[in-house]
Amino acid sequence: MKKVALELGGKNPNVVFADACATDDLLAAAVDNALNAAFLHSGQVCSAGARLVVEESAHDRFVDELVRRAEQIRLGLPYSEGTETGPLISEAHRDKVHAYVEQARADGAVIRTGGAFATGDQGSGNLDDGWFYLPTVIDGADRSMACVHDEAFGPTVTVETFTTEDEAVSLANDTVYGLAGAVWSADAARARRIAGRIRAGTVWVNDFGPYLPEAEWGGYGQSGFGRELGPSGLAEYREAKHVYENLRPGVTGWFENRKGQQ
């Protein structure tokens, strides 16, 4: 039998508590990382933070700023100066991403920005030369929607809200995947507590996306099994062997020695 280690897809939560937005500096850091989580490589990343789970009291401030920043992202061709993110891999994939957005709209979600093909001359090349899609923020989403639980693998981020820690964890874990996730909080104890409860192979605290060669990488559930990187990653390529040596051999006495009997 062949040994197999699989790192598969993800639908990764980015949990933001209100205290992570309490000051302008904290808000700037959380929003900046949320942009990276959702829109780096136009969302074509298995660990993309495509699910924003934000505390209700911070929703308006956080999402308004996220939308403002998303609208500033410069799309362009890969070798054009000033390009911040590029096209999707194919026309068929762009159509698939758009179908998820349109379904979200039909389900009652609010498309705060994006939700359309990006075309024309944007200053970093003619976007008609590639399969570009605008960075899209889908607000008012809930766990019943396909945009929340399916991996679209495009530049879209859904927004859900919570009011308690238990609700935040429940939303974060409401997925068949379990590759990665993040929690943002100024309360270190709470951040560690929530990170321990999120069911994912990697959880970042007050960050999103650093990958370390010494740290294991892999997922739970339908995000795969096995690990790469770190000591566990090396173990995937090894077969364990047990050698037992008795330094004082002796009679066990289990089977009675009946001398002289046939």
Specify the 3-state DSSP secondary structure of 42. Answer: helix
Closest C-alpha among 111, 39, 23, 24 to residue 75: 39
Nearest-angstrom CA–CA distance, 58 and 161 = 9
Contact, 182 vs 37, CB < 8 A? yes
The reply to whether 214 belongs to the active site is no
Nearest-angstrom CA–CA distance, 72 and 128 = 19
Specify the 3-state DSSP secondary structure of 135. Answer: coil
Of 21, 46, 65, 147, which residue is the catalytic one? 46
Contact, 208 vs 41, CB < 8 A? no
The reply to whether 21 belongs to the active site is no
Residue 214 burial (CB count, 10 A): 8
| Residues 6+ away with beta carbon under 8 Å from 15 | 53, 54, 168, 171, 172, 181, 182, 183, 184, 194, 198
Of 7, 55, 151, 160, which residue is the catalytic one? 7
- Tokens representing 228? 């790469």
Catalytic residues: 7, 46
